[in-house]
Amino acid sequence: MRFDFSVDEKEFKEMKKEVDDFMNILRKKIGADVFLGGSFAKGTVAKSDEYDADIFVRFDWKYDNLSDRLEKVLKPIVKSGKLNMKRMHGSRDYFRIWKERKLTFEVIPVTKIKNVKMARNVTDLSYFHVNYVRRNLKGRMLKELALAKKFFRANGVYGAESYIHGFSGYGIECLIIHYKSFEKMLKELVKVKDKRLVIDLKKFYKKKDAVFFELNESKLHSPIILVDPTWKERNVLASLNWETFRKFQETAKKFLKNPSGMFFERKEMDISKMKKKEGEFLHIVLETSRQEGDIAGTKMKKFAGFLTREMGKYFSVLENEFSYLGEGQKADLYLILKSKKEFLKVGPPLKMKKEVVRFRKANKKTFVKGSVLHARINVNFSGKEFVKKWVQSKEGRIKLEGMGLSKITFS
């Protein structure tokens, strides 16, 4: 396979100079260590239309409220440089700074620690992760990693955010260090079935099964248990779920069968193609008032799942696609539905006399099954009609508010 998505050397040097210039200004203004992380530090930048440079500011252990402290320093730098800045909420707030969208600085406050056990936040581990990858990812592996990251991003399985539940950047780096090549990594990961795969690069555990006794139970649900080579008690891929992993495996199998550059290109939703398929096509726009990014995406993804399950009572869901690009407070839900024509509604047990009377009054076609009253409900409405009616109902309004949604519209 001859694919190469490494950034051109000239282009990389130009962007690196911009990053270095910004970091030098920041170093002069702040009483803390400033270091470069992410793909720019590791030399693993993959070709893209837009790039992010992760800049970490390591504050002394004695300080708290790191995000507020950093913001005070950044504001005058941004103003004098005529830059744009946005505060992003996360496990610890960080700052997105840009002049043009091609290159964005993500400035992240962390605590300066001597060892991983002192970490107050997962971002505090970044310094150790960068150093580990720098030492172990060399030569041909750099190009292999660029391939891998491009592939994962293009197919919607890149990112540890809760609305993606995918592979983190550091996780992919560790996988390439382990397998040495992109192709070998795909071939091995598609073999994983129901039994979870344990990868322990530093061989912290003499027996792989020991991981299941040593690690926290909440970190063991992912299909791959990737023991952090900088900290034996952490699973690097704890955020990866089976749904995203299966999606990755399906795509990887197709790629291995017929390698093509199209697998490295982000696919836009082909609405015209979906509309031609048999069934009712629905494009629902979800809106939330919650902070854009992981919080907004997670709220909308969770609601999309709930709404799809509700609709599944009355319709066969032939296709289901959720799309949120990580910015803004809107997401898209695309569905293709086929009516079930009839829905079986479970009522109260016969011994609950009052409830039985009410149920029979509310439903015409009732029958008894196993001492429990049931009703057959005709599905004589469309998916769009169902959603509109549900949103206006008391149950719908309560659910929308409870799940952080502010509005639902159709496109």
Is the per-residue pLDDT at 400 higher than 80?
A: yes
In a domain, 188, yes or no: yes
pLDDT at 315: 94
In this predicted structure, the answer to whether residue 48 has a pLDDT above a threshold of 90 is no
Q: Give yes or no: residues 334 and 258 share one domain.
A: no
Residue 66 three-state SS: helix
Beta strands in 29-83 (DSSP E): 33-36, 51-59
What is the structure's pLDDT at 179?
98
Domain count, the chain: 4
Residue 299 is assigned to a structural domain of this protein: yes
CA distances from 274 to 277, 282, 283 (A): 5, 10, 10
Tens of pLDDT, residue by residue over 137-175, are 988 998 899 899 999 999 999 998 889 999 999 999 999
How much of the chain exceeds pLDDT 90, in percent? 68
* β-strand partners of 55: 36, 107
Do both 357 and 323 map to the same domain? no
- Its pTM surpasses 0.75: yes
Q: What is the pLDDT of residue 267?
A: 80
Tens digits of residue pLDDT in 235-285: 999 999 999 999 999 999 999 999 999 999 988 778 888 888 899 999 999
**CATH number, residue 321:** 3.30.70
CA 29, CA 107: separation in Å to the nearest integer?
14
| Domain assignment present for 13 | yes
In a domain, 45, yes or no: yes
Asked if residues 309 and 252 have their Cβ atoms less than 8 Å apart, the reply is no
What is the pLDDT averaged over residues 204-221?
Answer: 86
Q: 348: domain range?
A: 343-375
Instruction: Compute, in degrees rounded to 10, the torsion defined by CA atoms 261, 266, 270, 273.
Output: 30
Cα–Cα dist 15/31, whole Å:
25
- 250/278 same-domain check: no
pLDDT band, very low/low/confident/very high, at 226 (cuts 50, 70, 90):
very high
User: What gap in Å lies between CA 130 and CA 146, rounded to an integer?
Assistant: 16
Average pLDDT, the chain: 91
What is the predicted pLDDT for the residue at 364?
A: 83
Q: What is the CATH number of the domain that holds 61?
A: 3.30.460.10
Does residue 347 share a domain with residue 337? no
Q: Is the pLDDT of residue 82 over 90?
A: yes
pLDDT at 187 over 80: yes
